Chains A and B, each alone.
Chain A
């Protein structure tokens, strides 16, 4: 991990994180960090524990121990609503669009918790599809539109850390490109992003750093450049 800036301001520091679903122990002492302004991806096979990592950060997993520091504030023990209100935006793996809400209501649902969030017009520029579907019901959207809405709605709240769970999963290449462009724009706008991706090629175009997750542990970290130079190592982890 030589080429990671150790002196940068920390956004998120996770230490010895364990998580349980009832009796089943899923995360076994996770350690990783994200610097301010970085885009960091979590890579790993299905079932490795990536989604559980994001849920643990949000406080959506009851049984978690260890430490999760967000800009110096401990998240373990906090309720999800208090976590979100510190300025963390969450985009779940199933996109979590509310069917009983219109697109506009979904977009405006998350309360603004900090100043400096994006204006609606900027979000429409990023995802023009949303603007055309505002009055539609949340469950009438295509997969791509749902994904854009799921990302779009956490941009106006003033959250500076975005947790994105597989934003390109199951989407057509054209839509994946559009989401890639949007994420790069968000990066230049200074958002810190923790991204789960199955698709390393996609992740490598955005992320500064990749963590490899295996059996509920972070087993390695690698920069995009090094990962591209040493594809064998990645392939072994990802099983591709």
Chain B
């Protein structure tokens, strides 16, 4: 293909998949939150950044390593999400989307500001945990173990979320509350608690992605701002209709970036947005979206 040697092509696709894993985990959380809360959570990038930062802080100040961070950080950031939802978002559910977007955008500025003030903008290195160092020689490429782990962990967490939403009783409550919250309540389903849970769940996904990202991208107060434009492009391309769509589009966009880097490197960072414009023109509801969004 385009005279590119196969090993290089596959290697680049693999890198694309790994970026895609982050996009997928992030846009999955956004889609869940949008479905149930009717809010576009612009703070998602800041929460992801907090995920990375808390992992670094736990190591730096408390001597707690990667595996502790992977469990503890989503819980800590989840609690912050709980406070955000209970204190702020709760008041916006009956208003237009734009209010939620503005509030969460403001929140992300505040959160990033706090971290920039205290830690600056330069990246803090975070070492790959010993168990995940090294790599495999796949014959056509060298796959670092940590990247394979990121891919497996993201796919695992997305799959887990999908199973919960599509195949459990809690998931049927969630889908009902997404479709018709008033009626779900009239059946005795505690929709306000579900809303809180969903926000916390989405936020935990972002924090989890942040911890996974720490050893790859370095930890910095702007790591959220770096990833969020692409994640929102993913959301626009995929549409906010389905969680499967969010995950699939995340990986798709990662692959697209990887391919563009090979074919025409200068366009690597813009290809996604070109695709977004094309999708907006041809299918405004997104690849997997429903028309009424």
A-side interface residues toward B, CB under 8 Å? 58-60, 79-81, 83-85, 90, 92, 96, 98-101, 105, 108-111, 113, 153-154, 157
Contacts and interface: CB of A to CB of B under 8 A. Distances in A.
B173 A80 contact: no
A21 B163 CA distance: 39
Given A79-B185, A83-B186, A111-B188, 8 more contacts: A59-B186, A80-B182, A81-B185, A90-B187, A100-B175, A100-B179, A108-B169, A109-B172
Contacts of B187: 81, 84, 90, 109-111, 153-154, 157
Range of interface residues on B (Cβ < 8 Å): 10 to 19
Contacts of A157: 187-188
B185 A108 contact: no
A84 B172 contact: no
Contacts of B114: none
Instruction: Name the 10 nearest CB pairs between A and B, nearest first.
Output: A84-B188, A110-B187, A80-B185, A100-B175, A105-B172, A81-B185, A80-B186, A85-B188, A96-B183, A58-B186
Interface string B168-192: 0100110110111011111111111
Nearest to B185: A80
17 contacts: A59-B186, A60-B182, A79-B185, A80-B185, A81-B186, A85-B188, A90-B187, A92-B186, A98-B180, A99-B179, A100-B175, A101-B175, A101-B176, A109-B184, A109-B187, A113-B188, A153-B187
Contact of B172 (A60, A80, A92, A108): A108
Determine chain A's interface SS by DSSP, over half rule.
loop
B197 to A, nearest CB: 14
Contacts of A80: 182, 185-186
A109 B184 CA distance: 9
A98 B184 CA distance: 9
Nearest to B188: A84
A81 B172 contact: no
Contacts of B192: 79
Contacts of B184: 109
Nearest to B175: A100
Nearest to A163: B186
B173 to A, nearest CB: 7
A90 to B, nearest CB: 5
Contacts of A96: 180, 183
A109 B173 contact: yes
Point out which of A81, A90, A153 has the most chain B C-beta atoms below 10 A from its C-beta. Answer: A81
B102 to A, nearest CB: 25
A155 B173 CA distance: 18
B161 to A, nearest CB: 16
A81 B180 contact: no
Contacts of B180: 96, 98
Interface in B125-150: none
A146 to B, nearest CB: 13
Given A60-B182, A90-B186, A92-B183, A81 B176 contact: no
